[in-house]
Structure 1
Amino acid sequence: MNPLSQLPSVDRLLSEPAVASLVDIHGRAIVTQLVRTALAKARDAIRAGAPLPGTARLVADIGADARTQATPKLRPVYNLTGTVLHTNLGRAPLPEEAVAALVAAARSPCALEYDIGSGGRGDRDDVVSDLLCELTGAEAATVVNNNAAAVFLLLNTLAQKKEVIVSRGELVEIGGAFRVPDIMKRAGAKLVEVGTTNRTHLEDFAEALSPRTAMLMKVHASNYTIQGFTHAVPESELANLAHANDLPFVVDLGSGTLTELERWGLPHEPTPRENLAAGADLVTFSGDKLLGGPQAGLLVGRRDLIAKIKKNPLKRALRVGKITLAALEAVLRLYRDPDRLHERLTALGQLTRPQAEIRAAAERLLPVLQAALASLPVDVEIASLKSQIGSGSLPVDRLPSAGFAVRAQGRKGGVLNRIEAALRGLERPVVGRIEDGALLLDLRCLAPDEEPEFAARLSALSRLGASRSLSGGR
């Protein structure tokens, strides 16, 4: 008989108990399409010379495809990369207060643009503007969807068809090929570069002034550093020069923080308050980096300039929704209690976690990982590691950390790639890094209350370890 004619029909497969149970979970339309897809693949395989698959095999394939389709694309992972504010993993994890606030805002109607006191229309920026002014010393504030949008909006509002003077050494590129010169061009402003890559002086700015100058701008080099024979003009001097010529002075901090990080042993990072106190008229910074909140671009500074920016029609295109504002408000409120900030702000807690505490976690979990990889030609040991802050923040500074180093025995280095892939294939993926011939798993971002579940995930590797896909047929 023609093997194609022996394949079960769509209705026959739908009547199988295991497939019928999938209909209850996922719906008939989805499962029916999965059945048709499985049969089409089987026909193609048979035509290519493969044997006729049994009904059990088809049912298993349909179930696997259903699970794959039902798995969210935006999945939680364990961040063991050693980069705390990892751009590809969502940057700052939100504190519980922010999670609760965004869930409440998502679940119910809320006063987004409604003034409860007067019963009239409100301004969504009012949700956070008072807090931002309190924490930065600004006269006014507004919020857009990220810091790139904040820079774009202020340039488009205040410098369209005019010139913006910037030091050549501050024309940064950040992730995704975003470049300051490009955003200026798109905003309609003309870039005027002054100085050299490593040294720029006040007279360089003064000589570049012209009737077409719209502002002086300083871009904080948050994602790289130039060391050695260098010079940058202090913010206060740039502010004085700008104001003497009736021009605004603007600072783009990029990864901004609202507190002095030194009190927790971290390197200094300039704050919006410092820049405003030095004479800046506008400061822009991110909400989801060192600040530890949701993705947002924050603009703080002079009331008249913020008012102009808010009147730009593009402000509506770049505004944030109630979910972001709810989370941002909750995070900003935490900064009002600086003594407990490191205990409540998740990102700051991860950045300040002592190496001894991380190493103790590694000692507790080491037997689990060793057992999971026992069938493989690898050595597993606890290692002293160096974490980085990430997302362009304090790029040369490293945080003493600890975790695991998995090294292949002999010349079987390919096994590390298989283990790394298997870790990513777990129900909750584990993301580490391969560096200097070792698979490194930095435990800085693994919270103590996550350890039991994490250990259970690792134990699943022991089952995978017996398979040819992980052991390479060993």
Structure 2
Amino acid sequence: MAGFRALPSVDQLLQTETGQSLIAAHGRALVTSALRARLQAARAAIRDGADGTVEAARLPHLAAADLAAAAQSKLRPMLNLTGTVLHTNLGRAILADQAIAAASAAMAAPLALEFDLDGGGRGQRDDHLRGLLCDLTGAEDATIVNNNAAAVLIALNTLGQGRDALVSRGELIEIGGAFRMPDIMARAGVRLVEVGTTNRTHARDYQAALGPESGLILKVHTSNYRIEGFTAEVPAPELAAIARAAGVPLLNDLGAGSLVDLSAFGLRREPTVAEAVAEGADLVTFSGDKLLGGPQAGFIVGRRDLIAAINRNPLKRALRLDKIRIAALQATLRLYRDPDRLTERLPTLRFLARPQAEIAAQATRLAPQVAALLPDYSVDVCDCASQIGSGALPVDTIPSAGLRMNGAGGDAPNRLAARLRALPCPVIGHIHDGALILDLRCLDRDEDLLGALAG
């Protein structure tokens, strides 16, 4: 049995055809490091009784596998078949083709981000989006930051630093990652003043709490939970009148925020941004990567003087958007100017609007083909209940259809889920009632799933 002498040196391995091919793909430094690590492992194996010739033969292939695994990003495309359209852990909204093209163009060349092509002087990056936002929401002015939490933070800081911010106890929300509204308010430098109770808040509660130290009233749309039963809240128009009478601004945080009426897609009606502006809010904040269907961003629309004050806040520079997201947002917002074709062009609304019958027909087509690719598992068509996700309409579901998959053994669904996650294009479903469910609402093309499973 051959021993250590059977092992080649690193230099010898680098000179081989395999070594040169790996250098061309990964660079000399990474290949050298991988070969050294594998040589060390081979020596340890030989000390434990392994054959040196066998270990030498395996070396380049094992090093190549190590390099390929290290080069494969975990931030790679996958199929979201969880049944949650806007899945926070999977990147939320898929961008429209127009937004992708605009972002690519912005990455590939210089562009007039802060340059006035007409006058030749310095421009403002928000100008690329301001007009669109005002047209679509009816607001006097608009500004943009990197997400909605940042929008709330800078608005609170600008309007109420060192002063009281009134908010209903029933609206002190917590969003993902244990990120709580009271914590945002504390970081913004405002003093939280809770009014009303968890389930019932009345106009008199706000009026009693207003005083010389009041900086603003904050209304928070409870988009990620629902309080039902014996409840009461002050409607936005009435709350706006209370704020005006007290001489303080009303900040309405819509969270997910929508530019269109969701009831057109059979969903529960949610307040649109334009409605929130029309109801008298001085400022309205909402997200770009949720119901709007664009990249991550936070929008603030409303009174011109308040927007100007926010833009003067030093935090604005720290929270501003880069050229890539601005380009993608501009393209996304332009789609809303043609509402008749919006569901065709905007993936988020297209997925939400897909009728169950269409999805069920897709599941029926796919079931025998998927079963052929996974012979150890049963594959059946099933009804599903999709969700919007990202805190929008948390108790509402959308009738959908999918594939119910199971195999031998109680851990079969978990084993299959792990296999699908390990694919070059991972397929992500959810386990329910002892089976792995693939909800097909967000599957555009049959071949996407079949191609992924073939991997």
| Structure 1 and Structure 2 fold alike (TM over 0.5) | yes
Q: CA deviation at 1:51?
A: 5.2
Instruction: Quote the residue 1:180 is aligned against.
Output: 181
What are the superposed Cα offsets for residues 313-346 of structure 1, whole Å, 9 maximum, x if unpaired? 1100000000000000000000011111111111
Give the share of equivalent positions with the same residue, in percent: 58
Instruction: Quote the residue 2:239 is aligned against.
Output: 238
How far, CA to CA, are the matches of 2:215 and 2:44 in structure 1? 65
| Aligned residue among 417, 420, 430 for 1:420 | 417
How far, CA to CA, are the matches of 2:55 and 2:40 in structure 1? 14
Kept in 2: contact 1:217–1:249 (CA 8 A): yes
What are the superposed Cα offsets for residues 128-180 of structure 1, whole Å, 9 maximum, x if unpaired? 00000000000010000000000011111111111100000100001111100
Kept in 2: contact 1:362–1:382 (CA 8 A): yes
1:459 aligns with 2:449: no
Alpha-carbon spacing, 1:142–1:44, altered in 2? closer, same or farther (3 Å): farther
Q: CA deviation at 1:294?
A: 0.5
How far, CA to CA, are the matches of 1:51 and 1:279 in structure 2? 80
* Range moving further from structure 2, 29-38 or 341-350: 29-38
Kept in 2: contact 1:138–1:276 (CA 8 A): yes
* Range moving further from structure 2, 130-139 or 67-76: 67-76
How far, CA to CA, are the matches of 2:283 and 2:51 in structure 1? 70
Q: CA deviation at 1:459?
A: 2.9
* TM-score computed with the length of structure 1 as normaliser: 0.93
How far, CA to CA, are the matches of 1:408 and 1:455 in structure 2? 19
Kept in 2: contact 1:266–1:352 (CA 8 A): no
What are the superposed Cα offsets for residues 99-128 of structure 1, whole Å, 9 maximum, x if unpaired? 000001110111100111111100000000
Kept in 1: contact 2:265–2:352 (CA 8 A): no
Q: CA deviation at 1:45?
A: 4.1
Instruction: Quote the residue 1:407 is aligned against.
Output: 406
Instruction: Quote the residue 1:19 is aligned against.
Output: 19
- Alignment root-mean-square deviation, CA: 1.4
* Range moving further from structure 2, 10-19 or 314-323: 10-19
Residue pairs, 1:91-170, within 5 angstroms = 91-170=92-171
How far, CA to CA, are the matches of 2:126 and 2:258 in structure 1? 20
Instruction: Quote the residue 2:382 is aligned against.
Output: 383
Instruction: Quote the residue 2:394 is aligned against.
Output: 395
Q: CA deviation at 1:239?
A: 0.5
Q: CA deviation at 1:267?
A: 1.8
1:222 aligns with 2:223: yes
Kept in 2: contact 1:250–1:281 (CA 8 A): yes
Q: CA deviation at 1:5?
A: 4.4
Name the SS of the counterpart of 2:387 in structure 1: strand
Instruction: Quote the residue 2:426 is aligned against.
Output: 429
How far, CA to CA, are the matches of 1:369 and 1:58 in structure 2? 37
* Range moving further from structure 2, 47-56 or 245-254: 47-56
Name the SS of the counterpart of 1:440 in structure 2: strand
Instruction: Quote the residue 1:9 is aligned against.
Output: 9
Equivalent residue letter for 1:274: E
Kept in 1: contact 2:2–2:51 (CA 8 A): no
Equivalent residue letter for 2:412: V
Alpha-carbon spacing, 1:146–1:12, altered in 2? closer, same or farther (3 Å): same
How far, CA to CA, are the matches of 1:399 and 1:69 in structure 2? 40
How far, CA to CA, are the matches of 1:226 and 1:402 in structure 2? 29
1:249 aligns with 2:286: no
Instruction: Quote the residue 2:290 is aligned against.
Output: 289
How far, CA to CA, are the matches of 1:205 and 1:264 in structure 2? 36
How far, CA to CA, are the matches of 2:395 and 2:42 in structure 1? 54
Kept in 1: contact 2:405–2:436 (CA 8 A): yes
Alpha-carbon spacing, 1:307–1:364, altered in 2? closer, same or farther (3 Å): same
Kept in 1: contact 2:6–2:56 (CA 8 A): no
Q: CA deviation at 1:442?
A: 0.7
Name the SS of the counterpart of 2:254 in structure 1: strand
Count the aligned residue pairs: 454
Kept in 1: contact 2:407–2:413 (CA 8 A): yes
Q: CA deviation at 1:74?
A: 1.5
Kept in 2: contact 1:260–1:269 (CA 8 A): yes
Equivalent residue letter for 1:230: T
Q: Provide structure 2 residue ranges, at least 5 long, that are not aligned to the other structure.
A: none
Q: CA deviation at 1:9?
A: 1.0
Q: CA deviation at 1:2?
A: 8.7
Kept in 2: contact 1:368–1:459 (CA 8 A): no
Q: Provide structure 1 residue ranges, at least 5 long, that are not aligned to the other structure.
A: 461-474
Q: CA deviation at 1:8?
A: 2.0
Q: CA deviation at 1:49?
A: 5.7
Instruction: Quote the residue 2:35 is aligned against.
Output: 35
Alpha-carbon spacing, 1:18–1:215, altered in 2? closer, same or farther (3 Å): same
Instruction: Quote the residue 2:278 is aligned against.
Output: 277
Equivalent residue letter for 1:190: R
Equivalent residue letter for 1:206: Q
Kept in 1: contact 2:42–2:55 (CA 8 A): no
How far, CA to CA, are the matches of 1:56 and 1:342 in structure 2? 56
Name the SS of the counterpart of 1:402 in structure 2: strand
Alpha-carbon spacing, 1:457–1:56, altered in 2? closer, same or farther (3 Å): farther
